[in-house]
Amino acid sequence: MEREDLLARRIQELADLADRRGCVTFTDFLNLNEQNILHQTLQKFSWINGETFGGYEGAERQIAAFVPDALAYDWEYPIACVRVEPSNARFAEALTHRDILGALMNLGIDRAKTGDIALFGEKWYLFCHSTLASVVCDELTRIRHTSVKCMVVNLSEFSYTPKTETVRGSVASVRLDSVMALAFHASRSSLLSLIEDGKVFVNGKLIMTNAYALKDDDIVSVRGFGKFRYKAAIGQTKKGRCMVEIERYV
């Protein structure tokens, strides 16, 4: 709770600074829980526009920008994209997200300064604060037993389409717990503890009630399980159950 209070105060300070100086201010990368605190805190500052971005559309970890009204200059997020690939693919190990993250931590890089890590074949794309890009490129030369090389690539050239699968099925209602049960092939009762423990987010906002009714295109993220997009209700069964379509990220 103390950590959440500290973050809320930091958000308020950055919002006040942006308003007072007439300039854009930024947070570090925020995880889903921190983004939820951001949304709650921003409700108190109607005069400040709060925006978030993680380097590409759909990024989970995002930087928040506080933009004062009538801003007189163009600005961009301090985010860089670093491509990481084996120096010699022939002798490369099958690296995981955890391996990449561990190598960064071993360099003394704060997790708050790094965003998502996306895999494309044998290449990984790391999003980080722009001031760290050169450090990562110079210092990240080995991950486990694999020698790697790093290069900064232009954000505008990065295109990411997540792998998804379409799932259709019947649910008692479009309540959060019912649709989660369909998405993760689990019973509603087994998922209740995830909601109660604060592990379920809808569009980056923490949801603590299983009765939450999903709306078209809501994105549901569940820690330890993954995420899915609730597309829409597509019909009704003869027994009165709701037929829905979701898009599960795989």
Q: What is the pLDDT of residues 72-124, one digit of tens each?
A: 788 999 999 999 999 998 888 888 889 999 999 999 999 999 999 988 777 89
Q: Does any domain span residue 222?
A: yes
Asked if the model's pLDDT at residue 247 lies above 90, the reply is yes
Encoding tokens for residue 94? 């099958």
CATH number, position 50: 3.30.1370.50
Q: Write down the pTM of the prediction.
A: 0.81
**Both 237 and 215 in a single domain?**
yes
Instruction: Give the domain CATH number at 202.
Output: 3.10.290.10
Position 92 in a domain: yes
In-domain check, residue 74: no
Residue 116 sits in the same domain as residue 83: yes
- Do 115 and 177 belong to one domain? no
**Phi and psi torsions of 183, nearest 5°:** -65, -40
User: What pLDDT sits at residue 58?
Assistant: 81
Q: How many domains, the chain?
A: 3
Q: Which of 234, 199, 235, 241 is nearest to 220 (CA)?
A: 199
Model confidence at 216: pLDDT above 90: yes
Q: Are residues 184 and 227 in the same domain?
A: yes
Model confidence band, residue 158 (pLDDT cutoffs 50, 70, 90):
confident
Among 138, 157, 176, give the residue marking a domain's end.
Answer: 157
Q: Classify residue 223: in a domain, yes or no.
A: yes
* Region for residue 32 given its phi and psi (left: phi exceeds 0; alpha: psi -120 to 50; beta: otherwise): alpha
Examine the domain organization and report whether 137 and 182 are in the same domain: no
Structural domain including 12 reads 2-68
